Structure 1
Amino acid sequence: MNGYPGTIGHQQLLGLIVDYYANEPRILAIGLFGSLARGNWDEFSDLDLDIVIQDDMQIDIQDELVALGNFLHGMGEEPLLIIADRPDAGDVVLASLVQFSIRYHTLAATNWKIVDSLQLLRGPLDLATIVAAGEANRDAVTTSKPATLLDCYLRYALGVTIDLHRGRLWLAIELLHRMRTLLMELYVVTHGHERAIQSFETDAAPSLQNRLAAMLPQAERMSVLRCLESGIDLLAEDLIGFTDGRVVLTMAQSSLLRQLRQRCTELTKVGWG
């Protein structure tokens, strides 16, 4: 149709969005990333759009998405849901059940996670300039973020022990869920992938996926405790695999890990708090 990837519906929607912003002086580039850009899409794939704006521009994300939605409605693509849940980005679900996410940002704020698959749909910025901006952010994130992710992971693990002591089963289960998400994000950051869950599922070794699966609890106290113990063992035994050997526990983190093991031992001996 128009040279864009995907089904006819994908191509039509991409064409409409590109046309909508074609003569906008505040828009410096319209990019596409994710499965459609990589070529491994299917009929259920959503559109992942990245919009680079001028440095002096500010966008109200709710107003922006509503205006875009009104345009699409006029072109036969009725929005059912407009979700402006981030300061610079949001999601739209159409009546056709096609979905798209879209982010508006300055060049300097380009997300490094998207650049490996980024496809430029319209300039005037060139792809190399956008990729370079994203790579600069990759360097900053990959040196500082893993330690923060580990700190958060350990804090949530401590929270699980507290909730189990207090008899708050569902809070403990929720914190375990967050711990698993952090592990996948840690994998992504240290392996240079885009999206935590998708990349972990497609690229992580079966042994790593099995370690994560061991942290899926039943709605039962001892199950949650065993999953927490698995999460503690994982850091001690397989952190190299999850981080490609780029992260090691600090002395403070190792100390907290030992104390968490002791908490787990205590929890096996007590009932509900």
Structure 2
Amino acid sequence: MKDSLSVSTVNEDGVPMTFPSTLPATHQQLLEQIIKVFSKDPRIVGIGASGSYASDSMDKYSDLDLVIAVEPEYLNQVMLERLELVAKISGKVAAFTGEHVGEPRLIIALYEPHALHVDYKFVALPDAAQRVDDTQVLWQRGERLSAVLASAAFAYPQPEPQWIEDRFWTWVHYGTCKIARGEYFEATEFLSFLRSNVLSPLALQKQGLTPSGVRKIEQRLPDFAKQLSLTIVSPEKSSLIKALQQCIDLYLELREPSQVVVNTQAEKLCIDYFNAEFAN
């Protein structure tokens, strides 16, 4: 990841005077408005940006991933008013909470006229230190947000090889049963789970890269992506059988026996079961 840019110097409106070089003009205009509006709320201590903003790798399709740091004593109040706060930004056409992605603190919003997507994560100021990627301070009262971010390093969750090994073969049995029973759409979804939660994270981790599922896997690991593409098939029995076999083969290539206690009994049982079910 590139070193994040220093953008904590602001003008009289509280807006950063420099932005990442890849920030599109449309995103910048919306971001400037967000900072102007939110900085007027005395309960808000600082605003940070993570994701492609912090790594200076944005394009016109990028979201704005914002952290809104709130005075702890006002957090509950602000959480109740989040949708109203987001609606103060002109152009809002939709906004909703993020329980479906496991983050209830999140407000996901869409703005016209350029159909820009903004994620607002509202957190108590001390909790801003707990983050999975770099966060660049956009605006803050004093140096309070910067100090909190400096108190702890960001860390992306890493796949745990033993955790995966303890489950993988039972997952293979599950996939085999779904295909054999004729639940082809369910089996197709299951293969997506293996790609996102097992195969891609392990492949990225093995190369020393951030194990962020299948995101940008085509650019980050092009050779592996070609192998992974063989697991993307239509919901038909013969195609699904080949795809699940490819998942098994890829896992065996990625698994490092020196890092895990291999469950040889479960592995043999489930591979034999797979082969027996689809022998013809």
Q: Structure 1 length normalisation: TM-score?
A: 0.77
Kept in 2, the 8 Å contact 1:184–1:197? The answer is yes
The 2-side partners of 1:59 and 1:152 are apart by 38
1:235 alignment counterpart: 251
1:197 alignment counterpart: 214
After superposition, the Cα gap between the structure-2 partners of 1:195 and 1:125, relative to the gap in structure 1 and judged at 3 Å, is farther
2:7 alignment counterpart: none
After superposition, the Cα gap between the structure-2 partners of 1:234 and 1:188, relative to the gap in structure 1 and judged at 3 Å, is closer
Kept in 1, the 8 Å contact 2:45–2:70? The answer is yes
2:132 alignment counterpart: 113
- Choose 259-268 or 103-112, whichever is displaced more: 103-112
1:226 alignment counterpart: 242
The 2-side partners of 1:40 and 1:125 are apart by 26
After superposition, the Cα gap between the structure-2 partners of 1:194 and 1:265, relative to the gap in structure 1 and judged at 3 Å, is closer
Q: CA deviation at 1:239?
A: 3.0
The 1-side partners of 2:177 and 2:78 are apart by 39
**Given the alignment of the two structures, is residue 258 of structure 1 paired with residue 268 of structure 2, yes or no?**
yes
2:13 alignment counterpart: none
**Whose helix fraction is larger, Structure 1's or Structure 2's?**
1
Q: Deviation digits for residues 234-265 of structure 1, max 9, x if unmatched?
A: 1212235xxxx9x834233x433322211220
**Given the alignment of the two structures, is residue 215 of structure 1 paired with residue 231 of structure 2, yes or no?**
yes
Q: CA deviation at 1:20?
A: 2.4
Aligned pairs for 1:120-159 within 5 A? 120-123=137-140, 124-127=143-146, 129-135=148-154, 141-142=157-158, 145-151=160-166, 153-159=168-174
2:117 alignment counterpart: 99
Pairs aligned (count): 253
Secondary structure of the 2:214 match is helix
Task: Identify the match of residue 180 of structure 2 among 161, 165, 168.
Answer: 165
Q: Deviation digits for residues 220-246 of structure 1, max 9, x if unmatched?
A: 112111111111111212235xxxx9x
**Given the alignment of the two structures, is residue 83 of structure 1 paired with residue 96 of structure 2, yes or no?**
yes
Question: What are the ranges of 5 or more consecutive residues in structure 1 without an aligned counterpart?
Answer: none
* Letter of the 1:17 counterpart: I
Kept in 1, the 8 Å contact 2:161–2:259? The answer is no
Pairwise CA RMSD: 3.1
Secondary structure of the 2:279 match is coil
Of all paired residues, the percent bearing the same amino acid is 20
